[in-house]
Amino acid sequence: MPPVSEPYDVVVVGLGLAGLTAALAAAERGARVLALGKGYGTTHFRSGTIDVLGHAGAEVVGNPRAGLAQLCQERPEHPYALLREELEPALTLVRDATAESSLELLGDLDANRLLPTALGTLRPACLHQPTMGADLRGASVLAAGIEGYRDFEPALFAANLPAAAAAHGIELRARAARVEMPPLRRHHLDGPGLAQLFEQAWFRDQFLETLRPDLGDATLVALPAVLGLRHAAEVHAILERRLGVPVIELPALPPSVPGMRLQRALESALRVRGGRVQVGARARFVREGGRALLEIAAAAHPFRIPLRRLVLATGGPVSGGLVVERSGRVSETVAGVPVEQPAGEPEHWYGNDFLGAGAQPVSLAGIRVDAAMRPLGGGEVVDPDLFAAGGLLAGACRSAELSADGIACASGHAAGREAAS
Amino acid sequence: MSEMLFDEVARSADRCIKCNVCNTACPVMPATDLFPGPKYCGPQAQRHRPGDPIEEWVDYCSGCGACTRACPSGVKVAELNARARASVYRRRGIPLRNRLLGRSELLGRLGSVTAPVANLGLESGLGRRLAERLIGIHHLAPVPRFSQGSFRRRFRRLPRPARPWTEVAYFHGCATNYYEPWLGEGAVALLRRLGVAVELPPQHCCGLPLISNGEFDAARRYAQRNIRLLLPAVRAGRRIVTTSTSCGYTLKAEYREVLGIDTPEAREVAAATYDIFELLREAMWEGRIEAPRAALPRRVLYHPPCQLRSHGIGVPAADFLGSLEGIELEESGVECCGIAGTYGLKREKYAIARRVGEAVVDRAGEHRADVVACDSETCRWQIQHLTGLPSRHPLELVLEAMGEER
């Protein structure tokens, strides 16, 4: 065999939070990194917060650190059981990386913050963007929607919020307004499009002018999370100054503007550290005569990348990292590593309570890993050069626990570090 | 033409979950109100296209393909749009301007025999104003100068390597043949230095300008001729090497996915087609050649053309450039420079293309680049036009580092 050079030390498949964190952690250690994905990752579908642990059963978790200790004790098979020491450095890495793009992430492991949602409910988050949180106690909230932007309904928000807040012992009032922006008639408005408009002074001026008569006694203005992409902090500060009251953003339907901010900031930090990113690449891991290769379904003929270490961060069934086959088997799509199957027969894998705790046994399926995030099959390491992180990992009920981002960051951090070592 | 393949692309629309991620990647949508975005033109409108589509706005899609790459569900958004555009033109007729821009080979032939006169016309303000009035090519848009004497003519004088490890067939494309023959000479020189012999098969325009301008029937004729002309080299075991990432992508994918030519011969040609740096990088990774030990003490911004991104092969030129000593290399991270072939030349689209390309200008400034490297000719002309910086094919920079006299 001719001498072979591997152009990358670590290749990461998956461009969501787990993949980007893994790539960053590896690049931080001087590894030559390529991160690729079949498209953009789940950052575009999520709220742009870092949820570590929000619910324990029916209870809201106030202190994620304490909640984690309890969770790990009760469920030693949960991915967090391997990752408790990993969370703090992982969140620091992510926070520092996004700060380079002027995207601050506020909060820490000792307290969740209750953030209003677009539906007027409150949900706990560990880290959040500075545009999202405010003191709600005693507030008179004005929720403003933008005519033509159908992904946020201010009346629905205002109708739900007081009762939802009262359930957490918070008293407040809320009302709705709609801002009509005449020049937008020809647009079909979506979040990223509005975010781009909010970065332009003429648009902000007109928006503020139209909103001001509705302000009344409002002590807090709630807007859909569309206040800019690259310059969100600046836009937010301008709006607060001009309105004279705090302004919060409510993450609305995908594509998520706060999620895009997070993805862009992390991607940019990765590039600064010499990492490469390739979007639109479907990959398959192969071993050929001992050589580890990633085969990309490129145009006309496959593109094969020799590599040393591979991190799988392709997500669960929704993201396509795992696929539930018709035969009733869950399998992994890039390297074919063994998957811990859901308990029971396939007809019991799904429940009626969509997001309820433990209601979807299928979501517990996934890959078992050792402490170095290497996939296991029958208790043995499957391939010493393979690592896994994020939504692929078995044992968590992420949507019920509100734990997806914390697992992604912590396992991504561990997998990236181990792969680069 | 294969109906089955048409299905493969058309049916990909069924995988759309309406998540709008494609819209977040589209560089045109933020630059104009006239384009409602890839999702609406593509998978959304596809459901209402039992016959010919009626929408005109699909013409504002530049065809850069960012949407297809961004889609996590595997929808061929850009390909759906390209087909919809062609059927819009089929119905309302193709304007003279598009017919002209689509025929880069014919223009090149005419222009290079009349180069001094043709160039005068291109350089005169009056000529350009007239061209804008009469045929709708924006008077400021970046157009190249014709070269006197084609690349094919010059090729005969070029030396071959002493002991080649492989021989390839070079698909030079129209721009190299008629506007930038030095680029073809450079390609042959670089390949020679790295032990690759080059033959020049007969060939025609790849047909991409016709595809972009909505003339699928004429494009299919070019495609069929190219497949026939390139097949002997492929069957003799040679790979087809391209230096224009847009011609390369047309041979690799668009004949099949957009024009619907799904014959075994088309697949054979596609499977043998390699970008020049894709070939060299593979050889470097397999240990057949060594990366040139040369220095290039320059600040280079590398902009991967949108068409290269669609190849799905990463950034082979940057992998190669990165091995030069002293180079300060950064990738643009920008989806598209705006020109998208002939899009930004058009009167009604010039300003849009300019706005799209501003991101590259910003990146060049941030990096304090003294040159912008880019593998596609129309992108280089656009980047040069927008940044005022020289824009070079990466192979020109590698040759400069190797001290090749040209």
Average pLDDT, chain A: 94
- Whether B167 has a pLDDT exceeding 70, the answer reads yes
- Whether B177 has a pLDDT exceeding 80, the answer reads yes
CB atoms near residue A379 (< 10 Å): 7
Long-range contacts of A350-356 (CB under 8 A, 24+ apart): A355/A399, A355/A400, A356/A400
The predicted structure's pLDDT at residue A407: 98
| Four-point Cα dihedral A397, A400, A405, A408, nearest 10 | 0
Q: Measured between CB atoms, which of B69, B249, B330 is closest to A280? A: B69
Residue A280 and residue B309: Cβ atoms within 8 Å? yes
Angstrom distance (rounded) from CA A305 to CA B115: 45
The predicted structure's pLDDT at residue B346: 95
Alpha-carbon distance B206 to nearest alpha carbon in chain A (angstroms): 16
pLDDT of B92-106, one tens digit each?
A: 888 889 998 999 888
Alpha-carbon distance B44 to nearest alpha carbon in chain A (angstroms): 13
Q: Report residue B245 as tokens.
A: 């990432």
Look at A108-122, B45-59, B353-367 and tell me which has the smallest mean pLDDT.
B45-59
Angstrom distance (rounded) from CA B390 to CA B373: 9
Cβ contacts of B270 on chain A, cutoff 8 Å: 299-301
Q: Measured between CB atoms, which of A188, A319, A320 is closest to B40? A: A188
Compute the average pLDDT of residues A54-73.
Answer: 95
Residue A44 and residue B310: Cβ atoms within 8 Å? no
pLDDT of A368-404, one tens digit each?
A: 999 999 999 999 999 999 999 999 999 999 999 999 9
pLDDT of B394-403, one tens digit each?
A: 999 999 999 9
Asked if residue B290 lies in contact with residue B367, where contact means CB atoms within 8 angstroms, the answer is no
Compute the average pLDDT of residues B364-387.
Answer: 97
pLDDT-derived band at B118, boundaries 50, 70, 90 = confident
Residue B286 and residue A4: Cβ atoms within 8 Å? yes
The predicted structure's pLDDT at residue A185: 61
Alpha-carbon distance B311 to nearest alpha carbon in chain A (angstroms): 5
Q: Report residue A77 as tokens.
A: 């098979």
Residue B21 and residue A254: Cβ atoms within 8 Å? yes
In B121-254 the beta strands, taken as DSSP E runs, fall at 166-171, 196-199, 239-242
- Whether B51 has a pLDDT exceeding 80, the answer reads no
pLDDT of A311-356, one tens digit each?
A: 999 999 989 999 998 888 999 999 999 999 998 888 888 888 877 7
Compute the average pLDDT of residues B127-145.
Answer: 91
Residue A298 and residue B313: Cβ atoms within 8 Å? yes
The predicted structure's pLDDT at residue B48: 65
Nearest CA in chain B to A189: B36
- Whether B111 has a pLDDT exceeding 50, the answer reads yes
Cβ contacts of B21 on chain A, cutoff 8 Å: 39-40, 44, 254-255
Close Cβ partners of B322 (under 8 Å, ≥ 6 residues apart): B329
Cβ contacts of B333 on chain A, cutoff 8 Å: 267-268, 271, 277
- Whether B1 has a pLDDT exceeding 70, the answer reads no
The predicted structure's pLDDT at residue A219: 98
Q: What do you get for the CA distance between the two ends of chain A, in Å?
A: 26
Residue B273 and residue A5: Cβ atoms within 8 Å? no
Angstrom distance (rounded) from CA A64 to CA A110: 6
pLDDT of B27-40, one tens digit each?
A: 998 888 888 888 88
Compute the average pLDDT of residues B179-201.
Answer: 96
Alpha-carbon distance A60 to nearest alpha carbon in chain B (angstroms): 29
pLDDT-derived band at A232, boundaries 50, 70, 90 = very high
Cβ contacts of B271 on chain A, cutoff 8 Å: 300-301
- Whether B387 has a pLDDT exceeding 60, the answer reads yes
Average pLDDT, chain B: 91
Q: Measured between CB atoms, which of B19, B278, B333 is closest to A254? A: B19
Query: Which residues of chain B have a Cβ shorter than 8 Å from any chain A Cβ?
Result: 19-21, 23-25, 29-30, 33, 36-37, 40, 68-74, 249, 251-253, 270-271, 273, 278, 284-288, 309-315, 319, 330-331, 333
pLDDT of B291-315, one tens digit each?
A: 888 999 999 999 999 999 999 999 9
Angstrom distance (rounded) from CA A41 to CA A321: 11
The predicted structure's pLDDT at residue B21: 93
pLDDT of B239-290, one tens digit each?
A: 999 999 999 999 999 999 999 999 999 999 999 999 999 999 999 988 899 8
Residue A193 and residue B29: Cβ atoms within 8 Å? yes
pLDDT-derived band at A4, boundaries 50, 70, 90 = low
Model ipTM over 0.85? yes
Cβ contacts of A278 on chain B, cutoff 8 Å: 312, 314-315
Residue A39 and residue B271: Cβ atoms within 8 Å? no
Query: What proportion of chain A, given as a percentage, has pLDDT over 70?
Result: 97
Cβ contacts of A197 on chain B, cutoff 8 Å: none
pLDDT-derived band at B3, boundaries 50, 70, 90 = very low
Asked if residue A225 lies in contact with residue A257, where contact means CB atoms within 8 angstroms, the answer is yes
Residue A41 and residue B249: Cβ atoms within 8 Å? no
